[in-house]
Structure 1
Amino acid sequence: MQFSVPKVHNGNNFYSVGEEGSQAVFTSIEKELWQAGIHTELNNAELCRVDTFKNIEPEEEFPAYAPLFGLLKMRRGVDRVYPESFLLKNTQQQFCVYDKIAEMKHRKVEVSHFPAQAMRFEHRCMSKGKVQAVFGFSKAGEMFKSGRYETVKKQQVQQWKNSLFSHSVEEVLSIGAGVLQGEMELFKQRYERNWFDRFLKSYGAYHLAQFAGAEVVRIALQNIEEEKTKVWRAEKLLLQAQREIELLKNAEGTSKTLGTLYLELKEKVCLN
């Protein structure tokens, strides 16, 4: 059987539940099973999957972090439950990051009393062996023995430190430099001698369109250029250059560096 401790306890799964509340949920479910004629002791149940999570309130909107997750080898759209999430996985465990508010809105949950922005970091142990390896136990009841619940919380943080947040800011910037190098190489292959001029023009157009918007640029051009054909050509050139860069990368939606975004998430997720 499977169930969500926060959902049973709170009626929704946004907020986490402490040790006492979690133990009450196990007791309540066991009672319901007995009433249904299923006589079992959940404390002796073997845990074949355990999901832990932490919500943070990010400084930027969720799409702004997409390039960062991409750099860290997280894949988007592969999680069937949350298709907009970013996922890093193997057969034993999964690390999933997604916009919790957007996910709740998708499920038609009223979100007015929740934070305006919330990013969820979920770690999923996908087998009994992995549960044992990470937490040091595999029976449900052992979670409530002396100090074990605190171990679960500490291991949740440690798993994120070992995976997504094992890099220094300098290493993340180095990874980002590698991505930029790849974009430059594509321009060099495509345009040969004048590739860097084309690269600068395309990036300039991309950021101009991001900062002001094509419509604002068009209005400004109309105010200083009487000939409509020239305005049309300039707007077409802007959009063409913008699309050229968009084919290579996701729109960032923020002026912050990848290092700044990474440090923000690392501090918020890995603080005990």
Structure 2
Amino acid sequence: MTTVASGARASATPSGQGVGPLLRAWRERRRVSQLELALRADSSARHISFIETGRSRPSEEMVLRLAEHLDVPVRERNALLLAAGYAPHYRETPLDDPAMDALRAGVERLIQGYEPYPALVVDAMYDVVAANRGIMMLLDGIPESLLAPPLNAMRLTLHPQGLAPRIRNLREWRGHLLSQMERQIALHRSAPLRELYEEVAAFPVPESAPESEPEEFVPYFALPLRIEHEGRTLSFISSISTFNTPMDVTVAELAIETFLPADPATVKYLHTRAG
């Protein structure tokens, strides 16, 4: 298993703005009216308007309540509190801090227990913080330059010297990954994430990229990742899990991605290798 400590990420919320304009920006991004937000937060449209224009200073509780109903990311909730003149509510603990020992151990047991199937853990920038042997198997033969830390899952997957030439349905899978990143950018408003998106979106699709259709039709129930390994085509369906109601910025930004074999041949191959 590979484990890498994750560094802190700077807030994407513009500095120098009061909490009112920031809350209005989040409300408009979520396409929620002042009245609808007021009803959700047990307030009034008048009070929401006063907060957004700076005529009223919201309490710490109100900032957190509005942020919750607007689905503001945990990191940005701290930024809203700071803009309102309050201390951050959510701590940000580095993954290598002793306080995270139980979390790291639990995550490691989880992805190890998923073997021989691939599983990994990434942070908000898609940097890999942990990966099991199923993932490392798929990386056989990748140039060392791409495997140097911090190992980035998006860069590694879409780079023309990375996994891209091995992915049988690259155009579909690439479109899926870029759409996923676009959703994250809209949610987090992260400049570094936008830079990563622009980098990987500019990677050329290898001329040898195969057609997306499998040789034999298989009724997949979700878009599969179809990837070559040692002359075989393996098929996986990915699933992403996050922590429920996190109270730490670092934990809130972790995602566990597991790859479920999508056909019996992939199951048999992985278990044969593991045995």
User: Would you say same fold, with TM above 0.5?
Assistant: no
Higher helix share: 1
After TM superposition, the score normalised by the length of structure 1 is 0.19
After TM superposition, the score normalised by the length of structure 2 is 0.19
